[in-house]
Structure 1
């Protein structure tokens, strides 16, 4: 079975990872900090936004690949994939812009990420149970 849909959303996720990594590098260059965050809050925030995506992406993408391989419909895969990308964009923007970490984008980014993670988990357990 082809994993073209999974490949597409994994690639979009990789572009997000790359973009957030470039943001960290820019902060490192501006502030001349090679390792760690040097106590710089802007660099620490850029790192945290990048790390959060890296913490969530592996499990979601594994579940996504498994769901596609198990035969989840293209329409549902695109629903999950679109929500995933929107969630991660919302979270990155919200965490970057929010004062004290509070922002619409961060809240909804987390909730939508959890929704995708839970939804794909249920789908894959359903496949296992033959539902």
Structure 2
């Protein structure tokens, strides 16, 4: 059973999740906030960056694994994994740099994430319809 490519991106994304989680934890510790955001905009942003990550990445990794398991070319799987990872990094950086929302990094990050989700989904639907 092949799944080494997905394992690589799952590992990279796992490290990224730890970085995002660490940022939330350190902000909480620095300001003595154990639940919620305590009205601190910076903590609110860090929580949303982490939350957005966990809203998208699990489904994206499942799709990536299924694309890999259906025997698609490694370049396709790497392209999807790289788009997901880069998208999540850009989104986190973009939202962190401008907590009010608008930033090129955030926009490009979500577009890469959505493109990865759409492409992987279409590949799986077409592959299933074709019996691949």
Please classify the TM superposition score into its range, dividing by the shorter chain length.
over 0.9
2:111 paired residue number = 111
Count of residues paired in the alignment:
131
RMSD across aligned positions (CA): 1.0
Q: How high is the TM-score relative to the length of structure 2?
A: 0.96
1:101 paired residue number = 101
1:5 and 2:5 correspond:
yes
2:77 paired residue number = 77
SS in 1 for 2:121: helix
Instruction: Report how far residue 99 of structure 1 moved.
Output: 5.2
Q: Which runs of 5+ in 1 are unaligned?
A: none
Instruction: Report how far residue 69 of structure 1 moved.
Output: 0.7
1:66 paired residue number = 66
- Structure 2 CA distance, aligned partners of 1:68 and 1:27? 38
Q: Which runs of 5+ in 2 are unaligned?
A: none
Deviations 1:64-116 (A, max 9, x none): 01111111110111111111111111000000012521100001001111000
SS in 1 for 2:119: helix
